[in-house]
Chain A
Amino acid sequence: MEEKHSGPIETQSPPAAAPAEGLEARFPGSVRRDERQNFDGYLVEPGKLVEFATALRDEFGYDYLSSVTGVDYLPEERLEVVYHAYRSTGGPALVFKVQTPRQDPIVVPSLTGVYHGADFQEREIWDLYGIRFSGHPDLRRILMWEGFHGHPMRKDYQEPYFEEEGKPYKNRWPEGSVYRIEDKNPFHGNVQYPDEFTPEGWVPEGDDALYAGMKKVSAGGNGDGRGLGTEQIIVNLGPQHPSTHGVFRVVVTLEGETIVELKPVMGYLHRNHEKIGERNTYLMNIPFTDRLDYICSMSNNHGYVLAVEKLMGIKPPERAEYIRVMMVELTRVANHLWAIGFLLNDLGAFFTPALYAINERELILDVFEATSGSRMMCNYMRFGGVARDLPEGILETVRELVFERLPRRVDELDAYLTGNEIVRTRSIGVGVLTAGQALDYTAAGPVLRASGVPYDVRRADPYSIYDRLDFDVAVRYNGDVYDRYLLRMDEIRQSLRILRQVVEGIPGGEIQTGKPQYQVRVPAGEAYGRVENPKGELGFYVVSNGKPNPWRYHVRAPSFINLTAMGEMCRGQKVADVVAILGSIDIVLGETDR
C-alpha cells in the first residue's frame, strides 16, 4: 500500500495498514482496501458492517470509535459513512467506510450496539445527510429540529440566501453591487403569528417523539403493590438553564428527585458550520474554526491546519511549531482555569472561584491579543506556519507567567478548592463513568482520562513537537466529578511544564514554509487531523477534490461527542447534580451545535 502515499503526501503518523494485518483475509470479499488516490482505510460491505466492527473491537483491539461522519459524493451518486477507530493503547487510526447509493431508502446498519459512542454521531448523519441507521435505538434529528425539510449537508441542498456553490462570490468585485443581507430577509419587518397560536400551549411538533422515547414506567412502589405508589415525571431543564453554559436543554425522567433517564437536546446554536466550511476556501475556514470552541480558538486552528497540511504535504518550520505548541498549551491552561471556575459556579459557589480563575486567564488572553491581534478569535495559524512572529517582549511575559505567576496561582486555587468539604461532598462519587463506559461512549479528553484511561492524543498519536517534549499524561481513576476537577488541575501543571520547556527551547528562524498564499493548492484526497484539545480530541476530516473549496469539511467536536455519555453519568443521580455533571464534562455550545 506504500505506493498510495507517493507524491507529496507525508502523513505524520505511520500508515494505518500495518497494525491491522489480516482484516481483508478475515472478511474475504466484503472488506477491501480503499484504492482511491490519497485515500486510506477499508471499504466494508454494509451487510458485514456490524460483524466487522465487532471483530475490530474484540479481535483487533480497536476499542475506541472516535469519529463517524458522512460524505456526499454527488457526482458519483454515492453516500459514504466514514469511521475512525483507535486502540486505546495508542497508534494511528483505522479508517473504514461504508458506501451506499444515493437513492432512497438509504440505510446503513447502526454501530450503536458495538460502540455506544456512535449514537449522537449517527443521529447527526441522519439529520444532515439523510442516511438511516437501522437498529439505532433513537434515530431522531439532533441539530436541526424535527419537521425540518431536507438534509442540509447534502451537496444539492441550498441554504436560504444561497449565492454560489463556493466563495469567493463573483458579484463582490469588480461590480460591487452592495446590499444588506437583511434586506433579503423574508421576515424583514417583523413576524406575525397565526391567530390561533398561543405560545404557552404550543408544543414543538417533533418533541412528541422525544417524550415518547423517555423511559416512563408507572411505578407501583416496590412492584409488589405494597410500597408507596409514585409517579415518574418528565422535566425539561432548559433551554437556557442558568448554569448550562449556553442554550442547551436536557430532558429528564424523574422518580422523586432521582434521575431515571436523561437526554440532552441541542442544536439551538446550530449554524451548519460544516456547510459554511464547504462553501469557504481552505484559508477562509481558519477564522471560522475560532468560533467552534471559542474558549480554545488557538487549538482549533491547530487541528484544522494540521489536517490541511497533511493533504498539502507541508510542514511548518521549527520556530512555528514551537510557537504553535506554546499557544496551544496556554489555551489549555486558560480553558481548564475557566472550566474549574465554572464548575464551582455550578456547584453553587457563585463566581468567587470563577473570577479568581478568570483573572489568570485574562493574562493569557493578553498574550494572545498581543500576538494574534484578538483575545478569543485568534485566527493565528496558517498552512505551513503562523500568521506573524511573536511581538517583542511577549516571550518575557510568557516566561514570567509560566515560571512565576501561574504555578503559584494554581497552587492557591488548589488550596482554595481541593480540600473544601462542600466541593468534596457535592462531587465525590457523583456522575461516575467507568473506564469501560468511557471508551464505549467515546468520551474524550479529561472525561476519558479521569475515568482511568490514560489516552492523550499528544502521546497516543503524537503530532507537532510533542514527541520531543517531556510531560506526563494526567490520569485519575474514579471517573467522578471530583476526579475530573483534579485531572484538570493536573493538566494545568503538565501544560505549564511543557510551556517551560517551550519557552526555554524556542529556536529562531522562519515562521512560515514557503510564501504566504491566500489561494492554497490542496491535492485531491482525504486527511484527518486530530489534536488533543483541552476538551478532548478535536478532529478535522477534510476531503479535497483539488478545487479551491473543500469537498468535505467535518469537525469531530469533543463537546458534542462527550455529551453522549451524559445520560449514563446522570442515571441514578439527583436532579441537582445534573448541572455539576454537565459542568464537569465542560462543553462549549459553539462547538456542540456547530
Chain B
Amino acid sequence: MYGIGIVRGLGVTLKHFLETYLDDIRWLGRRYYNPEALAIRQSPKARGAFTVQYPEERLVTPEEFRYIPFLLYEEDEAGVKHDRCTSCGICAKVCPPQCIWIVRSSNPETGRPIPEPTEFFIDIDICMNCGLCAEYCPFDAIKMDHDFELSAYDRQSAHIYNKERLSKPVSYYASIRPSNYEREEAARAAKETAKAAKRES
C-alpha cells in the first residue's frame, strides 16, 4: 500500500524520540553532569540523545588527542627550569606548514652553540596540529597538548607563541599522557643503564 514506507520510517523516528526519554528515566535524572553516564553516552552502548552540555560537561579527551605543541622543561630542587629542547631544529625541519622558528643560542665568548634555544616561536594560526614535531623529536622535548580552548581577542599579537608561552612542566605532560610518559621514561632509564654498563665494562 502506498505510504506504508513512510509510516514505517516514522516508526523509526518515534522510536528515536522515545528512546531519549527512556534513557533519561534510566539514569533517574543523573544522565547529565555525571562522568559515569557521560562515559557510556559516548560509547557504542549509547542510547538517546548524543549531545553534551558543553562547557558544563566536557568530553574526555583520549590520551593521543593532539592540539598545538608545547615545550617541556624539567624543574630541579632549586626551582630552576631546564629546557629539554636542545635546539637541534628537527621539529622546524619536519614541520609541514613550517610554523616553527627557533633561535639557537651560542656562547658569546667562543661562539659555539649551546644546547638550549634562546627563543622558540610557533605561529598557531599556521600550525596544522599534525603532531610530526612531537613524533620525531629525539629528546621528547616537544609534545602535543590537550588544551584546545585557545581563543584570544587579538590575533595580531597573541597568536605567535613564544618560548615562555609554550613551556610547560614535565609533570603536566605526565598528567595528560600518562602511558606515553611512562613508556618514554622506561626507555630512557633502559638507555641510561645500558650506557652505564658500557662505561663499566
Assembled-state Cα–Cα distance A416/B87 (Å): 58
B1-9, B75-83, B166-174, B184-192 - interface stretch: B1-9
A420 touches B64 (CB 8 A): no
Check A178/B96 contact, CB under 8 A, given A366-B42, A370-B62: no
Chain A residues, Cβ within 8 Å of B102: 172-174, 176
B92 touches A175 (CB 8 A): no
Query: Nearest Cβ in chain B — how far from A413, in angstroms?
Result: 8
Chain B residues, Cβ within 8 Å of A419: 4-5, 8-9
Assembled-state Cα–Cα distance A359/B16 (Å): 12
Assembled-state Cα–Cα distance A400/B43 (Å): 10
Assembled-state Cα–Cα distance A371/B66 (Å): 11
CB proximity to A under 8 Å, residues B1-46: 2-6, 8-9, 12-13, 16, 42-46
Check: A363 CB closer than 8 A to any chain B CB. Answer: yes
Assembled-state Cα–Cα distance A370/B50 (Å): 18
B101 touches A173 (CB 8 A): yes
B-facing mask of A162-205, CB < 8 A → 1, else 0? 00000111001111111011000000000000000000000000
Chain A residues, Cβ within 8 Å of B63: 370, 391
A26-34, A219-227, A283-291 - interface stretch: A283-291
Chain B residues, Cβ within 8 Å of A350: none
Assembled-state Cα–Cα distance A379/B95 (Å): 13
Chain A residues, Cβ within 8 Å of B46: 363
Query: Nearest Cβ in chain A — how far from B159, in angstroms?
Result: 8
**Complex partner residue of B50 from A167, A180, A359, A397, CB under 8 angstroms:** A359
Assembled-state Cα–Cα distance A180/B136 (Å): 25
Query: Nearest Cβ in chain B — how far from A240, in angstroms?
Result: 24
Chain B residues, Cβ within 8 Å of A421: 2-3, 5-6
CB proximity to B under 8 Å, residues A372-411: 372-374, 377, 379, 387-388, 391-392, 397, 400-401, 404-405
Check: B176 CB closer than 8 A to any chain A CB. Answer: no
Chain B residues, Cβ within 8 Å of A366: 42, 62
Chain B residues, Cβ within 8 Å of A372: 64
B93 touches A518 (CB 8 A): yes
Chain B residues, Cβ within 8 Å of A400: 44-45
Assembled-state Cα–Cα distance A88/B117 (Å): 58
Query: Nearest Cβ in chain A — how far from B97, in angstroms?
Result: 8
Check A369/B65 contact, CB under 8 A, given A168-B95, A173-B101, A284-B94: yes
Check: B126 CB closer than 8 A to any chain A CB. Answer: yes
Chain B residues, Cβ within 8 Å of A286: 130
A283 touches B94 (CB 8 A): yes
Check A416/B9 contact, CB under 8 A, given A168-B95, A176-B119: yes
Chain B residues, Cβ within 8 Å of A369: 62, 64-65
A173 touches B5 (CB 8 A): no
Which of the four size classes fits the interface of chain A?
35 or more
Assembled-state Cα–Cα distance A177/B160 (Å): 12
B50 touches A388 (CB 8 A): no
Check: A422 CB closer than 8 A to any chain B CB. Answer: yes
A173 touches B144 (CB 8 A): no
Check A172/B100 contact, CB under 8 A, given A283-B94, A369-B65: yes
Chain A residues, Cβ within 8 Å of B5: 418-421, 423-424
B12 touches A415 (CB 8 A): yes
Chain B residues, Cβ within 8 Å of A404: 44
Chain B residues, Cβ within 8 Å of A397: 43-44
Check: A477 CB closer than 8 A to any chain B CB. Answer: no
Chain A residues, Cβ within 8 Å of B194: none
Chain A residues, Cβ within 8 Å of B125: 180-181
A377 touches B101 (CB 8 A): no
Check: A280 CB closer than 8 A to any chain B CB. Answer: yes
Measured CB to CB, the nearest residue on chain A to B100 is A172
A-facing mask of B91-111, CB < 8 A → 1, else 0? 011111010111110000000
Measured CB to CB, the nearest residue on chain B to A379 is B130
Check: A229 CB closer than 8 A to any chain B CB. Answer: no
B62 touches A391 (CB 8 A): yes
Assembled-state Cα–Cα distance A287/B144 (Å): 15
A181 touches B126 (CB 8 A): yes
A415 touches B8 (CB 8 A): yes
B96 touches A280 (CB 8 A): yes
B42 touches A417 (CB 8 A): no
Binding site for B on A (CB under 8 A): 167-169, 172-178, 180-181, 280-281, 283-288, 352, 356, 359, 362-363, 366, 369-374, 377, 379, 387-388, 391-392, 397, 400-401, 404-405, 412, 415-424, 516, 518-519
Binding site for A on B (CB under 8 A): 2-6, 8-9, 12-13, 16, 42-46, 50, 62-66, 87, 89-90, 92-96, 98, 100-104, 113, 119-121, 123, 125-126, 128-132, 135-136, 144, 156, 160, 179
Closest 9 CB pairs of A and B: A419-B5, A174-B104, A287-B130, A176-B103, A173-B89, A284-B96, A373-B66, A370-B62, A176-B101
For this complex, 23 residue pairs linking A to B, each with C-beta atoms less than 8 Å apart, are: A172-B93, A173-B100, A176-B102, A176-B120, A178-B121, A178-B123, A281-B94, A287-B128, A352-B13, A366-B62, A369-B64, A373-B66, A373-B131, A387-B131, A387-B135, A391-B64, A397-B44, A400-B44, A401-B44, A417-B9, A420-B5, A421-B6, A518-B132
